[in-house]
Chain A
Amino acid sequence: MEIIFSLLPVLIFLICLYLLDSFKLVSSKMLIICLVWGVVAALISYYTNTWLSKQFSLDYSVFSKYVAPLNEEFVKAVFIIYLISRQKIGFSVDAAIYGFAAGAGFALAENIVYLIRLMNEPEIVIWIIRGFGTAMMHGGCTAIFSMLLIGGVQREKPLALAFFPSLAAAYLLHSGFNHFFLNPYLQTVLIFVILPVVFTIVFQKSNSVLQDWLEIEFSNEVELLRMIKQGSFTSTKAGDYLISLKKHFDAEMILDLYCYISLYLELSIKAKRNLMLKENGFAVIEEPDIMEKLNELQQLRKQIGKLGELAMQPLVRMKHRELWKLNQLRN
């Protein structure tokens, strides 16, 4: 019974979040890696907490309220920062799920240690509080960190700048939980009620952002690629713009820019098509030359350089979400 109450709620909640991901942004493989990272993070935190408590010689209560939450939230966040910096996370939905998974892994490891240590603890209520309260808090804090971080990155803040307020929010929530300002039972009930509401709101908002993003860009990109394929690109505003760049770049560079925009549009449309297919439960269309094309785009991106990318910004903005979208084709 202890195992059921202390380990299952957070796992069931994670599975529910995964199933609610209507566009299937989350890969099950990465989800498991996040969960495993959470377990590793718990081990790292155990040793760093022990080391820190010896260094500062703080009272346990003070340590658990102020130092441990910062250390734990930081360690859990490391893998999420890696995923965002590698454009593996694109929207609040996948950020929340991966974040919650890392927190859930942490909580699972922590609760297993408690189960071993307090095996003879007769009070079932302790396990209910640990499983429904502490474990959900761990998942929730890392999920909130991830959502805030991806939100900052999407608003084009540098990762480092977006990181500190996101970590501060997760830390304050975790520290607040450890303060037990409220009765532990009430705190547990509140977490179990508030967290699903927060996730529902975030998922709805994120899905609406994703749909708008698909809607606006998809039609324009298909239209532009259609013109390119018909050889009518120069009669479009985008074509006019590219021609105007002749004053600043040599012919070879203009050709690279033309190939870059053409290839980018093709890959972008395919990535979005796959998102739509996944949303409706269809298998994505496998194309043998997709990796070749992605590598070609990467090569063209290098060739046009920062200056070329800057010049192409009115037509192609290679920001976080665009890179994430292309990354989806690699999966």
Chain B
Amino acid sequence: MNVQITNSENYTIIKVQGRIDTITATDFEAKVMTTLEQSKKLVINCSELDYISSSGLRVFLLTQKKINAAGGTLKLCCLQPTIKEIFDISGFSTIFSIYSDQESATNP
């Protein structure tokens, strides 16, 4: 699992590559939480996210919870069809703001 952090005009973009599973979830959580300390407006770009397990989903939920508490915004974008299906099947699509591309996600 690899994470790249960039800044756009309005949002901090976290691009996640690879797998978020039991082993990598802690590392991913630490990186997201560190980013969260600097910016309350996050976009997680999942275009290169190949796999997400429940540990990964729990990190997404934790991030959403912290951002809600801080009055910020969390958007997910570019989910691969298999990952999008996981969100749809488990019902998490209704919890998160999901965008098909990064451009629409970073619009204020």
Contact = CB atoms under 8 A, between A and B. Distances in A.
B89 A225 contact: yes
B64 A219 contact: no
Given A215-B22, A226-B86, A276 B58 contact: yes
Interface stretch (B6-14, B32-40, B91-99, B100-108): B91-99
A283 to B, nearest CB: 10
A279 B89 contact: no
B57 interface: yes
Contact of A280 (B65, B86, B89, B91): B65
A272 B54 contact: yes
Given A215-B22, A219-B53, A272-B54, A285 B94 contact: yes
A191 interface: no
A11 interface: no
Interface residues of B, number: 20
B17 to A, nearest CB: 19
Contacts of B86: 222, 226
Contacts of B65: 280-282
B55 A269 contact: no
B61 interface: yes
B22 A226 contact: no
Interface string B45-58: 00000000111011
B85 interface: yes
Given A280-B58, A280-B62, A282-B65, A273 B53 contact: no
Nearest to B63: A280
Interface residues on A, range: 20 to 34
Given A222-B86, A222-B90, A282 B61 contact: yes
A270 interface: yes
B85 A280 contact: no
Contacts, number: 53
A272 B86 CA distance: 13
B54 A219 contact: yes
Contacts of A33: none
A215 B54 contact: yes
Contacts of A218: 53-54, 57, 90
Contact of B91 (A211, A214, A285): A285
Given A215-B22, A215-B54, A277-B95, A269 B90 contact: yes
A330 interface: no
A211 B55 CA distance: 8
Contacts of A226: 82, 85-86, 89
Contacts of B22: 215
Contacts of A277: 61, 95
A148 B85 CA distance: 40
Contacts of A270: 90-91
Interface string A139-173: 00000000000000000000000000000000000
A310 B53 CA distance: 29
Contacts of A229: 89
B29 to A, nearest CB: 12
B91 A276 contact: no
Given A215-B22, A279-B58, A273 B90 contact: yes
Given A215-B54, A280-B65, 9 more contacts: A218-B90, A222-B86, A222-B89, A225-B89, A226-B86, A229-B89, A269-B90, A272-B54, A276-B57
Interface of B: 21-22, 53-55, 57-58, 61-62, 64-65, 82, 85-86, 89-92, 94-95
22 contacts: A214-B54, A215-B21, A215-B54, A218-B53, A218-B54, A218-B90, A219-B53, A219-B54, A229-B89, A269-B89, A269-B90, A272-B54, A276-B57, A276-B58, A277-B61, A277-B95, A280-B58, A280-B61, A280-B62, A282-B95, A285-B94, A285-B95
**10 closest Cβ pairs, A-B complex:** A218-B54, A280-B61, A280-B65, A214-B54, A219-B53, A273-B90, A215-B54, A273-B91, A215-B22, A226-B85
